[in-house]
Amino acid sequence: MILENKTAIITGATRGIGHAIAVRFAKEGCNVAFCGRTRNEKMIAVEQELSALGVKAKGYATDVADYDSAQAFVKEVLADFGKVDILVNNAGITDDSAVKRMTEEQFDRVMHTNLKSVFCMTKAIQPAMWRQGHGAIVNIGSVVGIAGNYNQANYAASKAGIIGFSKSCAKEFAARNIRVNVVCPGFIETEMTAEVPKELMATWCSRIPMKRPGTADEVAQACVFLASDMCPYITSHVMPVCGGMEDA
Ligand code: NAP
């Protein structure tokens, strides 16, 4: 088990890609602290699912886009788990619209949830990782942050911002053996993409060399690798997980 005895924080793990990452990490022996915005049945079910895999697991209700909430979340996790070796910043939203029609509120909400949250969580965990002299941060970007997309200027900007932020942190933190990498999923089947009309889904798939959407678990496998000790010299890397999509 390649993450045995490690502890990870995974944001937004109540469903979708974050949930798949939490399950993969637990199967690799990693203790998992995760969050969603509310403590509900889903969160409790994920706690139980992860605990059944033989690791310590706890869900926290946190808004990671809020600076003080992120600080309190990390403080609580450190008190409960004793240390944090890995941070996966996965929580994210979309609120699509053409720029012509996009409101300021739509732009700000996506930027705060997707990009400011990465700053808030990195700020909160950085002192503990700095003290312990190691850490792995995996930020979930998107191929849309590399290539752009129709009706997703706010989302693309937030995900492109994650790449710039991560590469800067990689430089600043390297001396303390803290690695920072980005995983950029392509088109992955989750609740976030469930609303995409079938015809549009078929068009998208036809443009993917592998001719299918990816699975959340395929993204999770890339995260396991980047979070593990299998790549101690990999930092500042942007890894697309997209079936060979153009521009990624
Ligand atoms: P999802 O199914 O909608 O899940 C999003 C998760 O984030 C949920 O657990 C949600 O929990 C949590 N969350 C949202 N806002 C939050 C906040 N402010 N504070 C704390 N938790 C919050 O999304 P997904 O498809 O799995 O996507 C996960 C990540 O992958 C996102 O960053 C997304 O941009 C990225 N991505 C997805 C795709 C794709 O095709 N699906 C492609 C590229 C990149 P609650 O609702 O319980 O709060």
Question: For the chain, which residues make up each domain, given as ranges?
Answer: 7-241
User: If pLDDT is split at 50, 70 and 90, which confidence band does 248 have?
Assistant: low
What confidence score (pLDDT) does residue 201 get? 86
CB neighbourhood size of 168 (10 A): 12
**Distance, CA 66 to ligand 1 centroid (Å)?**
16
Alpha helices, DSSP H, located in 138-235: 144-147, 153-173, 191-194, 198-206, 216-227
Which of 24, 39, 66, 190 most suits a substitution to test ligand 1, by most atoms within 8 Å of the C-beta? 190
**Distance, CA 165 to ligand 1 centroid (Å)?**
19
Ligand 1 atom closest to the Cα of residue 64 is 19
Q: Is the pTM of this model over 0.95?
A: yes
pLDDT per position as a tens digit, 180-226: 999 999 999 988 778 888 888 888 899 999 999 999 999 999 999 99
Q: What is d(CA 175, CA 185) in angstroms, rounded to the nearest whole number?
A: 28
CATH of 7-241, one of 3.40.1160.10, 3.40.190.10, 3.30.300.30, 3.40.50.720: 3.40.50.720
What confidence score (pLDDT) does residue 1 get? 96
Ligand 1 atom closest to the Cα of residue 113 is 18
Rounded to 5 degrees, φ, ψ at 202 are -65, -40
Per the annotation, the verdict on 155 as an active-site residue is: yes
**Distance, CA 168 to ligand 1 centroid (Å)?**
23
Tokens 């637990």 -> residue = 26
